[in-house]
Amino acid sequence: MPSKEDLYQLFVEKAELVSAKVTTIAHEDDALKYVINLCGEKEACQLLVSGCEADLSDKAEALCETKQKKVIAAPGLNADLYKKLAAQAKKAGFECIDKGMRDHLAGVDIGFTYAEYGIADTGTLMLDCPSEELRLATMVSEFHVCVLPKSKIKANTYAVEKMMLTRMKKTPDYLAFITGASRTADIERVLALGVHGPLELHILILED
């Protein structure tokens, strides 16, 4: 059996290989700080990568304009943590939401979530998201920041099989393995990140 430390090392190595940004934190509060900082630093609309000046069809352009303020979406957080996050966000001038994702399909800046498990041999996060709000937060956000408790890192997918089955049997269920940011190599096989889902995946490993 590999030790907890080995699994952690392997997880970090593998996650970084698929361009996830991994940070280890000592306390949940550090995660909040991280999210607020990241939101502050990031360009108002990450799509500037393509340049909002990059011309879109009129319809796609219109969707762009529905977004006025930086938004952090954090459905699925426990109430206390959410309250803290919302307060800090407000101070920083960001909107913080835990529902109503469908009103934000043009994209939110940051989706903030908790993973249930980490899978070391591929650097994968396992997130169970039967709630649509949570699911959308991990998809329409430009950056996805996810907290993973260190003790929840398992060796491989077989080691999470039982846990998966327990969840799947409580139907309906919608469970995801997430490994790195959304990616495509469909044009000339050149890797490009963030095609439909997040452009960046940040993993915060919480010492516990």
Partner 1 sequence: MQKAHNLKEYREELHETLDNDFLRTTLDNFAIAYRAGRANAFKGMDVRGLIQEIADSKDAAAQNADALYKEFKANAEAAGVHVHFAKDGDEANRIITKIAKDADCKKIVKSKSMTAEETLLNHDLEDAGIEVTETDLGEWIIQLRHEGPSHMVMPAIHLSRFQVGDLFTEVTGKKQDTEIEKLVKVARRELRQKYVEADMGISGANFAIAETGGIGIVTNEGNARLVTTLPRVHVALMGIDKLLPNLRDALRILKVLPRNATGQQLTSYVTWITGNNECLAAEDGKKEIHYVVLDNGRSELIKDPLFSQVNRCVRCGACANVCPVYRLVGGHKMGHIYIGAIGLILTYFFHGKDKAKNLVQNCINCEACKDVCAGGIDLPRLIKEIHARIQDEDGHPLPSFLLGKVMRNRKLFHTLLRTAKWGQKPVAEKDGFIRHLPMIFSKEHSFRALPTIAETPFRDWWKENRPEVENPKYRVALFSGCVQDFVYPEQMQAAVDVFAANGVAMEFPEKQSCCGLPVQMMGETKASRDVAAQNLRAFEPDAYDYIVTLCASCAAHLKHNYPKLVMDKPSLKLRADAFSAKIIDYSSFVNDVLKVEAKDFTQSGEKATYHAPCHLCRGLDVHEAPRQLIEKSGMEYVECAEEEVCCGFGGTFSMKFPELSAELLKKKLDNVEATGADTLLTDCPGCIMQLRGGLKRRGSKVQVKHVAEVMSKHKK
| Contacts of 73 by beta carbon, 8 Å cutoff, 6+ apart | 96, 97, 98, 101, 104, 108, 110, 111, 112, 133, 136, 137, 141
* Nearer to partner 1 (CB atom), residue 32 or residue 178: 178
| 79 contacts partner 1 (rule: CB under 8 A) | no
Among residues 1, 26, 79, 190, the one that binds partner 1 under rule CB under 8 A: 190
Told to check if 69 binds partner 1 by CB under 8 A, we report: no
Q: How many CB atoms lie within 10 A of CB 167?
A: 17
Number of residues in contact with partner 1 under rule CB under 8 A: 66
- Binders of partner 1 in range 6-35 (CB under 8 A): 14, 17-18
Is residue 145 within 8 Å of residue 202, measured between CB atoms? yes
Among 3, 26, 41, 54, binds partner 1 (CB under 8 A): 54
Shortest Å, Cβ 30 to partner 1: 26
CA distance 123 to 182: 14
Give me the residues that bind partner 1 (CB under 8 A), please.
Answer: 14, 17-18, 47, 49-51, 54-60, 62-64, 102, 105-107, 121-124, 130-133, 135-136, 139-140, 157-158, 161, 164-165, 168-169, 171-190, 192, 194-198
